[in-house]
Structure 1
Amino acid sequence: MHLIFENVLKNMVLLWSGKFKSLDEGDGTYEFAEGIWEEIGQLTVEAGNTIPSAYGARPQNVADDKTACTADSWCFWMLYLAPILLRGRFRDEDSEYYDHFIELVKLVRLCMKFELSPMDITSIRTGFEKWVISYERLYYQNDPTRLSACPVTMHALLHIADGIEACGPVWTCWAFPMERFCGSLLPCIKNKRYPFANVDSYITGAAQLSHIKNRHDLVDELRLGPPERENWMEVRIGGYSTCVLVYPRVTSPTLSTGLEQKVVAALATRYGVNVKVIRKHVPLKDIASWGKVRRLEGGDTMLASSMVAGTALDGRDATYIRYQTYIDLDARKKRLPPRLVLQTFYGQLQHILVVEIPAHVQLNLSAPEILILVAIRSCKIDEYNVNDLDMHYYKDEGALDVVDVTCLQCLVGRVYDRGRWVIIDRSGDLARAEAEIG
């Protein structure tokens, strides 16, 4: 995929900024107006503050910081930032150049799927064929004097589907793992005169050690670093197997009237009782507030904005999340039974609350239990502006939702552009749970 990120994308950027091999735009209108590309570069840098570090390194200024823009950073910019920042910035408001670029983004996303079906490969093959033909019409313009606009890397796109059929999905043979491995070899070079001998010795020793670990089940005994141990900053709560709470913690925090009412209402709905019963039997004064929650098995660490927002050393916002909860489609029709469907929402995680529920006959509980509730300030998604790249626009925030912590899914990033926020979600639709009740 380096072919696309380091060559095709860079060539298109040079075309848009009027710096491609001293070639003018001919009969086209694809070059940005003066200052637009610099503005896009600055917005790319500013987006780093509202995109959590779990998404990768901070985006670099694509307009002037060429040395820091690796294939990895170009990949992130292309898949997540460019569809937002390029929209409406070509000279034609309904630009076919923008639409042409979005088609490339869709093809790249399709190529990067973990598994590919024969139908997917066919879509990749036909998609790149159509894309290259459109490229020749828009940039080459069927003019032999503009032949420099058609480097061999454009032709190579036509063979990506063949490569997938021969080798499997692109992640099985792309260069990212090899580049990271080469980076790990640099510290092992201690002799400038015989660097390759150092590398050979290191690789041989590492391979032998790995073989012994696996062959004799000695992974922990032969660990060169410190032994793994459970983080003392993390606390598991019984009944919650998908997440752990992470310090800081505040006991008996002062809840605002609005938040307390939301918590009481959520508990009343959960236990099917009146709010007066909750206030009578649940000790709200004993609620504990936590600063972070981490989903297990490689999940994200999500921060509560009321306690730890802005304290991260890298200054990157990790409080906006995706969450899922059931809603009643017939909520306004009181006489009808509930018709629940699972829906996806976005918002800012503001509070993580641990509530101890005592056993009581009025609560239908024979044994006490502990609940982890989260308060989320929802984002009012503008459905009109939702595109088909799973990027959601919003301008205002909505109501405060109090739900169980198991509703939290992952961190999301945000990009501010021309008066609106745009939510980017790296996990995509394939990571969503699909369920329906009723």
Structure 2
Amino acid sequence: MAVVLGVNAVFHDPAAALVVDGEIVAAAEEERFSRRKHGKVPVAFSTWELPEAAARWCLEHADVDPSDLDAVAYSYDPGLASPVTPDVVDGNWEGLRSLFVQRAPLFLRSALPGLDPGIVRFVPHHVAHAASAYLAAPFESAAVMVCDGRGERGSYLGGRAAEGDLEVLATVSLPHSLGLMYEEVTEHLGFRRSSDEYKVMALASYGRPVHLDALRQAVRVTGDGRFTTAPIDWARFSPRRSSESEWAETDADLAASVQAVLEERLLELAEWLHERTGERALVAAGGVALNCVANSRILRDGPFHDMWVQPAAGDAGTALGAALYVAHASGDRIEPMRTAALGREWSDHAVRDALVTADVPFTQAHDVAGEVSAALASDAVVGWVQGRSEWGPRALGQRSLLANPTRAANLERLNDIKGREQFRPVAPMVLAERAHEIF
């Protein structure tokens, strides 16, 4: 029976999660409190920036004092990273990153008074990713796929989990990385790397994979559950785009080509995992697992009967995975993750007070569903808030914008409201009785 706080603070998406007696009771990303997208800049010298507000909220939500914690699980193991060096040489900040992580127990004690720095446990980054999937999923056993930009020294983990334990079958070390490849093309196409990869995925739907053969030569699977990636000169396919310029057909074609090679290689890795493990289910995490188009391809064309993806598949999810891993190691039976609604919740009283303070006119709805339906029918855009906020980057009905789906113009309208590029998609909305016709 343990009370474990999970913390992610190393690369990006700082977050905290609380697991009590094997049950996930709270999880939140720092950006939901700071309103700073992704929580911080993903550079080595931001590693000291802890998810203080998220961690404090998790503890307050469960009425837990920092002194009550049995462990703090930190989702990075500095012992597996590059050695610490006293100087920064040729722009290599890895030593500084490791130094900050080694000091994390002291930083945490300052952020959470009463916390014993001796209870901090370092969990390898990809193990934390993996645990966020296999310990949270509703399967007794499953194949495990973790793919991201990087961890301490690797970029991929494939394995099998059974009864809460992980058997690692294949790993890929840097510089080979599908995630970093996708980050590179994200930057080349004028977007922000380690942030806007989902924009490349969206842009890909407007292009043709005309460069697929060339990219296949650069990205290869090796037949043993691993892959290699060679350096790619992106300018040979499309000129580097500035963030201010309009996207061109060549940009969309490059995005489509990278998306296609990513899907092919992930599918081949999934097939190898199925052959080695014989499992019916695949669980996935890591930033690449936020590529829902690739996930759909694996489920549709791959050998697995079931697939479960951690909703916070990016680095935020390692806070939860680290906490679950340490809780399991302490002997707790882990309860599956039943919902992604693990964040903050606002009472009607708190909402009313905020509206009064802001001097915003409001009325109390008595038939919420009826009034929202009428508003949508009249072509209004509705801001929908219910229950606890989502864990992870996807709007899943807890904090969403709704618009009439019968009007195609509302796609552009929603993108305008959110200040998004017009090639970005939105989630579908359909009457419950017609859902089976579409999904």
In our comparison, the structure showing a higher alpha carbon Rg is: 1
Q: Which has the higher contact order (CA 8 A, sep 6+)?
A: 2
TM-score (norm. length: structure 2) = 0.25
TM-score (norm. length: structure 1) = 0.25
